[in-house]
Amino acid sequence: MPITELADIAKTDVDSIKRAIKKLIKEYSSRETALEIVELPNERFVLQLKPELTPKIASLIPGGLLSYATLKTLVFIALKQPIKQSELVQMRGAHVYDHVRELAEKKFIEVNPEGRTKILTTTDLFADYFGFDYDKIRMKAQLRWKLRKILKEKDAKQTEKDTSTNTGN
């Protein structure tokens, strides 16, 4: 939610809201809770479940989270946007029709007809939900950075596992 909207709802000034949010961020980070407050680009804030806990609760939220394959399609759309659905199908296979329908229903992507195909782009909800900038160029850079970070962490864990296996631990 934009900070200006919070100020309007609370009927106070933006600086008071900023101070209150910073205090809440510190309070949440000092407690051992499942929630955190994260500042997004453009002075937006979100109260969310800590990312490391998401896999643990995925089975408790029927239809709430995306499957790995659908998430992979969403990342592909975000990186290549705007992308024609026909190109996406050529690259990822016919199963993406189901992914596109689900992502559109959850309002993570916009689907705009263009001739015999559709043009796919991410929405502001996608940016908010995953903590990206609204600007598509910055969003792509942020997404690439996050993907590199995830791959490095995965490689480090695999190396640690291999070392542990080789030493007999």
Give the pLDDT confidence of 31-48 residue by residue, as tens digits.
Answer: 888 888 888 777 777 788
**Which of 31, 51, 71 is where one domain is finished?**
51
Residue 119 confidence (pLDDT) above 70 = yes
Are 17 and 91 contained in the same domain? Answer: no
Residue 62 confidence (pLDDT) above 70 = no
Closest of 117, 122, 119, 118 to residue 137, by C-alpha: 122
Alpha-carbon Rg for the chain, nearest whole angstrom, is 19
pLDDT score at 11: 93
pLDDT score at 156: 77
- Report residue 158's pLDDT band, with 50, 70 and 90 as the boundaries: confident
pTM of the model: 0.62
Are 66 and 127 contained in the same domain? Answer: yes
Instruction: Look at phi and psi of residue 93 and say left if phi exceeds 0, alpha if psi is from -120 to 50, else beta.
Output: left
Question: Could you list the residue range(s) of the whole structural domain that residue 23 is in?
Answer: 3-51
Note whether residue 133 is domain-resident: yes
Element (H, E) at 102: helix 96-105
Beta strands in 52-161 (DSSP E): 83-84, 109-114, 117-122
Are 69 and 146 contained in the same domain? Answer: yes
Residue 122 confidence (pLDDT) above 80 = yes
Instruction: Look at phi and psi of residue 43 and say left if phi exceeds 0, alpha if psi is from -120 to 50, else beta.
Output: left
Q: What is the pLDDT of residues 69-100, one digit of tens each?
A: 888 899 999 999 999 999 999 999 999 999 99
What residues contact 53, with CB distance under 8 A and at least 6 apart?
34
Note whether residue 56 is domain-resident: no
Are 34 and 84 contained in the same domain? Answer: no
Number of domains in the chain: 2
pLDDT score at 89: 94
Are 139 and 99 contained in the same domain? Answer: yes
Strand partners of residue 35: 49
Mean pLDDT across the chain: 84
Are 95 and 139 contained in the same domain? Answer: yes
Are 118 and 68 contained in the same domain? Answer: yes
